[in-house]
Structure 1
Amino acid sequence: MMGGICSRKRNQPVIEDGICRAVSGRRSGSSKWLGPSSLRPTVEQSSGGAGICPSLLELCICKICQDIDKYSSFSMLPRDVSQQIFNALVSSHSLTEVSLEAFRDCALEDIGLGEFPDVKDSWMDVISSQGSSLLSVDLSSSEVTDSGLALLKDCSNLQALTYNYCDHVSERGLKHISGLSNLKSLSFKRSNAISAEGMRAFSGLVNLEKLDLERCPEIHGGFVHLKDLMKLKSLNVRCCNCITDSDLKTISGLTDLNELQLSNCNITDTGLSYLKGLHKLSMLNLEGCNAVTASCLESISALVALTYLNLNRCELSDEGCDKLLGLTNLKVLSLGFNNITDACLMHLKGLTNLESLNLDSCKIGDEGLANLAGLTLLKNLELSDTEVGSNGLRHLSGLRNLQNLNLSFTQVTDSGLKKLSGLTSLKSINLDARQITDAGLAVITSLTGLTHLDLFGAHISDSGANCLKYFKNLQSLEICGGGLTDAGVKNIKDLVGLTWLNLSQNCKLTDKSLELISGLTALVSLNVSNSRITNEGLQYLKPLKNLRSLTLESCKVTASEIRKLQSAALPNLVSFRPV
């Protein structure tokens, strides 16, 4: 990208005073989507509070976007300037089919229109006019059909095409991309139109490195068209329950594969045996493949390059878990929602490179945690809904790098939390348990680096809430179903970094609480359901301009009053209850 205005091409127009002098002033579009502040150059604040002036280029682009209806063509501008104008219009939702015409023949490299409204075939003529300069296109959720895709055939250097959530393409349309031999990345997530026969169009994409067919239910048998794509490194067919063992056999020769996502596919241990030769595979996701058992670990143990392995919601038991011992490169291991016990954890001792371990809803207890004591690189540990209690936490005291710990629905009590007081790297802790009280909150006040604290269901009173003053870095706080009153909320009002606050089911909270938190202007989500909040209290929420979600169910609040608040003061509010 250009560093400043001096990089303009010879004989190209000079942009000065916010006006593009060589561009026609014919009206060619509409700025109806532009509000008074929708396109303004960013002014950053330094630590001393002084504003950093935007660059001349930023000011020029801002002015051009505001006056977009004055310009008929940007083709004489340097490509990087045209690209920035295009990106600014897209990000502000100001691009229209009419204003798009100004970008014809601009040699843009990136057309990112994913989720953009009203994109259809009539837009494709301008998009394809970028010709050999075009490197990436995102048309996700558009109405572009076979005819529109056909226009991309002249974009011979296209390297990335994203066409997610679109059902307007057919086998005939896919043939139009078969000649784009420079494609490296191709994505057709959640498309009912992608069939096994349609995948024949992929067979000539010899430079393809990444293919995403997540939630495409008709692709069984289509892998035969992938078997010669020897540069393929990443394949995602998550939630394609049509995929069977025979499909895996077909791609067993793609030895450059390093990412394979097969979650919720209809595969078995036999299918996984075909993957033994994929020695470069570093990521394997099998979550929800409920025909997979611990026997698959015999095959997986050959994949020694694995750094990520997800076996959540499979049919694992302790038998066969000894095969995990050889996967010493693993950094992420997920074994949640399986029938494994402490006996399985014995085989994790040697996985000293582990940084993340998920044991959610497994049948493990205190003694099993002893096997984790040597995993000193662990940053994330998920123990929710296990049989772990306070005694077991002593085995975690040496995990000084631990950042995220989930102990919800365990047997941990206040006394057990004392064993965590030395884990000063913790940023997130979930205690979602009825047996945690004010005393438990008091013993973790040394964890001043916490950014997320979940005490859902804990018995926290106003007295315990006094401890919250120690957690100055909190961004997310949940204290639900406790005994808080307005007096306790006073301890929250100075946590100015909060973006997520859930105080639901504290039935004694009144409008005073809303007044107390009115200074938390960073809040994006607020829940004070099942309280005594009334319509009169809504006025205190007016300063919360960043609020996107507001939940006040089972309060004396009406949807009509929330809508008035939304219209008058909360422009970013998109979700609220009651509705």
Structure 2
Amino acid sequence: MGSRHFLPPVAPMAAATGGELRLVDRCIDAAARDAATVEAWRRQRRSLERLPAPLADALFRRLAARRVLFPSLLEVFKWSVEEVDLSGSLAVDAEWLSYLGSFRYLKVLKLADCKNVDNGAIWSLAGMNTLKELDLSRCPKISDAGLRHIVTIQSLEKLRLSGTKLTDNGVMLISSLTNLSLLDLGGIRITDKTLRSLQVLTRLEHLDIWGSEITNEGASVIKAFTGLRFLNLYWTSVNHLPVPPTMRCLNMSKCEIHSICYEDSEVPVALENFTVSEAEFGNIDKVFAGIQAGTLLYLDMSSCDLSNLSFMENMKNLEHLDLNSNRITDDAIEHIAKVGTNLKYLSLKGTGITSQALCVLVGTVPNLTSLSLSHTKIDDSALAYVSMMPLLSTIDLSHTSIKGLFLLTKHLSSLIMSICFLL
């Protein structure tokens, strides 16, 4: 075999200079050119075993992207690769996992949307205690039987199982994985009883249980997860939520929300990210009284049937505000103007505003970079106001009464902008 087929020695990725990184990338590109090239070097197993993990991971990703990976080729990476992402591959099945299960240093395995990965295939991963992260999201053939193999991997810190066929009883087995910091059970119909069984997972920082059958009674145990920072309760029946002081990101979209609070405390919750698209509110002022207005950076209230925004007036640090498809008119815009100083993204798509709303916003949103006005009543008179927003770089004016690009560029001649028409 000619020397031209050998992978050249390269510097470790972390220490490489810009020139070395370009050379490494060219080497990887050449090695993954086509099936014939791969066949030429794949017999050099000892050379591959000595590859630094970052380089082996990069080569593996390139081969996967070019679809020149096959099961027997996996074996040459068993001593070097630490991260594998085969998400969405219909080819991945039990044969593939039999090779992946022998990887000695594998830390991350992503198999989301791999429709042919089943319970039998997962058996090959049993006891694989180098593994820190496993993603089996939307693998429809994974059920409780497969989970029994997964819970033997005691090293797991991140586990994604949304959209699988796990049952309430199966999910209870996860309580043995006490190193978990992230658990995604989205779309699985778990009950209050199951959630209580997971209280032993004291290291949890991220919990996704959207679409579950959790009620207020079950949600009362959320406060027991004392390190929890992210919680997704989308499309559940929870409306009274006690949360731990660590909570920063909360999704209660499609919920009917009555209260959010720390248990037995009048101190508001220090949320940074609050997503409540399509939610309903018992008393919206009471709900937001339980949240520290000054800590909110991201607020998504799209499709909430809102007309009054007075509850927003103290949210001075908001950077992202989505009010898409609400009953907002020009009268409500003054409340946005009062909190506009740090806004970078604003969506008023599908609301009842007119060009007058832009007149109110001028001078109050100095950091705005993205603005959606699609499906509103604005017309050409809005263009002069838009041109006075100094950092605006993306704007959606589709389905409005704006006459055309000529008038638009005339009014925006003083700005360097990219105008996004999403027709």
User: Which TM-score tier does this pair reach, normalised by the shorter chain?
Assistant: 0.7 to 0.9
Residues 363 and 77 (structure 1), Cα distance of their counterparts in 2 relative to 1, 3 Å cut = closer
Q: CA deviation at 1:255?
A: 1.6
1:443-479, Cα deviation, whole Å (9 max, x unpaired): 2212210001111122222222112221011111112
Alignment partner of 1:472 out of 342, 345, 366 = 366
1:330 aligns with 2:254: no
1:120 aligns with 2:19: no
Residue of structure 2 equivalent to 1:283? 182
Normalised to the residue count of structure 2, the TM-score between the two structures is 0.84
Residue 453 of structure 1 aligns to a residue in which SS? strand
Alignment partner of 1:521 out of 409, 416, 421 = 416
Residues 188 and 443 (structure 1), Cα distance of their counterparts in 2 relative to 1, 3 Å cut = closer
Residue 381 of structure 2 aligns to a residue in which SS? helix
List aligned pairs for 1:214-363, cutoff 5 A: 214-220=112-118, 221-289=120-188, 291-340=189-238, 342-343=239-240, 345=241, 347-348=242-243, 351-363=244-256
Residue 109 of structure 2 aligns to a residue in which SS? strand
Task: Kindly report the root-mean-square deviation, in angstroms, between the aligned alpha carbons of the 2 structures.
Answer: 3.0
Q: CA deviation at 1:122?
A: 4.0
Residue 49 of structure 2 aligns to a residue in which SS? coil
> Could you tell me how far apart the structure 2 residues matched to 1:122 and 1:166 are?
13
Q: CA deviation at 1:321?
A: 2.3
Aligned residues: 399
Residue of structure 2 equivalent to 1:380? 273
Residues 339 and 151 (structure 1), Cα distance of their counterparts in 2 relative to 1, 3 Å cut = farther
1:316-350, Cα deviation, whole Å (9 max, x unpaired): 3334222323111100000001232x24x2x33xx
Alignment partner of 1:174 out of 74, 77, 80 = 74
Alignment partner of 1:498 out of 385, 392, 401 = 392
Larger radius of gyration: 1
1:83 aligns with 2:20: yes
1:486 aligns with 2:384: no
> Could you tell me how far apart the structure 2 residues matched to 1:197 and 1:204 are?
12
Unpaired runs of 5+ residues, structure 1, are 1-73, 91-99, 104-110, 129-148, 528-550, 554-579
> Could you tell me how far apart the structure 1 residues matched to 2:301 and 2:88 are?
35
Which stretch of structure 1 is more off in the superposition, 194-203 or 264-273? Answer: 194-203
> Could you tell me how far apart the structure 2 residues matched to 1:282 and 1:168 are?
34
1:243-268, Cα deviation, whole Å (9 max, x unpaired): 11111111212221110111111111
Residue of structure 2 equivalent to 1:141? none
Question: Does the CA contact (< 8 Å) of 1:188 and 1:212 recur in 2?
Answer: yes
Q: CA deviation at 1:77?
A: 10
Residue of structure 2 equivalent to 1:444? 336
Aligned residues with identical type, % of pairs: 21
Residue of structure 2 equivalent to 1:68? none
Q: CA deviation at 1:292?
A: 3.0
Counterpart AA for 2:269: T
Residue of structure 2 equivalent to 1:157? 50
Counterpart AA for 1:404: Y
1:80-108, Cα deviation, whole Å (9 max, x unpaired): 57523436xx6xxxxxxxxx5xx5xxxxx
1:374-406, Cα deviation, whole Å (9 max, x unpaired): 453210011221112653465156331110111
> Could you tell me how far apart the structure 2 residues matched to 1:245 and 1:76 are?
46
Normalised to the residue count of structure 1, the TM-score between the two structures is 0.63
Residues 458 and 302 (structure 1), Cα distance of their counterparts in 2 relative to 1, 3 Å cut = same
Alignment partner of 1:428 out of 311, 317, 320 = 320
> Could you tell me how far apart the structure 2 residues matched to 1:318 and 1:468 are?
40
> Could you tell me how far apart the structure 2 residues matched to 1:500 and 1:515 are?
17
> Could you tell me how far apart the structure 2 residues matched to 1:76 and 1:335 are?
50
Question: Does the CA contact (< 8 Å) of 2:178 and 2:203 recur in 1?
Answer: yes
Question: Does the CA contact (< 8 Å) of 1:262 and 1:287 recur in 2?
Answer: yes
Report 1 or 2 for greater relative contact order, CA contacts < 8 Å, sequence distance ≥ 6: 2
> Could you tell me how far apart the structure 2 residues matched to 1:124 and 1:82 are?
25
Question: Does the CA contact (< 8 Å) of 1:381 and 1:406 recur in 2?
Answer: yes
1:280-316, Cα deviation, whole Å (9 max, x unpaired): 1000111223x43333202322211100011122333
Q: CA deviation at 1:355?
A: 0.5
Residue of structure 1 equivalent to 2:3? none
Residue 477 of structure 1 aligns to a residue in which SS? strand
Question: Does the CA contact (< 8 Å) of 1:184 and 1:209 recur in 2?
Answer: yes
Question: Does the CA contact (< 8 Å) of 1:243 and 1:266 recur in 2?
Answer: yes
> Could you tell me how far apart the structure 2 residues matched to 1:477 and 1:383 are?
20
Q: CA deviation at 1:362?
A: 0.9
Question: Does the CA contact (< 8 Å) of 2:273 and 2:297 recur in 1?
Answer: yes
1:419 aligns with 2:319: no
Residue of structure 2 equivalent to 1:546? none
Question: Does the CA contact (< 8 Å) of 1:397 and 1:423 recur in 2?
Answer: no
Q: CA deviation at 1:520?
A: 4.2
Which stretch of structure 1 is more off in the superposition, 429-438 or 508-517? Answer: 508-517
Residue 270 of structure 2 aligns to a residue in which SS? coil
Residues 293 and 491 (structure 1), Cα distance of their counterparts in 2 relative to 1, 3 Å cut = same
Question: Does the CA contact (< 8 Å) of 1:125 and 1:151 recur in 2?
Answer: no
Q: CA deviation at 1:212?
A: 1.5
List aligned pairs for 1:14-29, cutoff 5 A: none
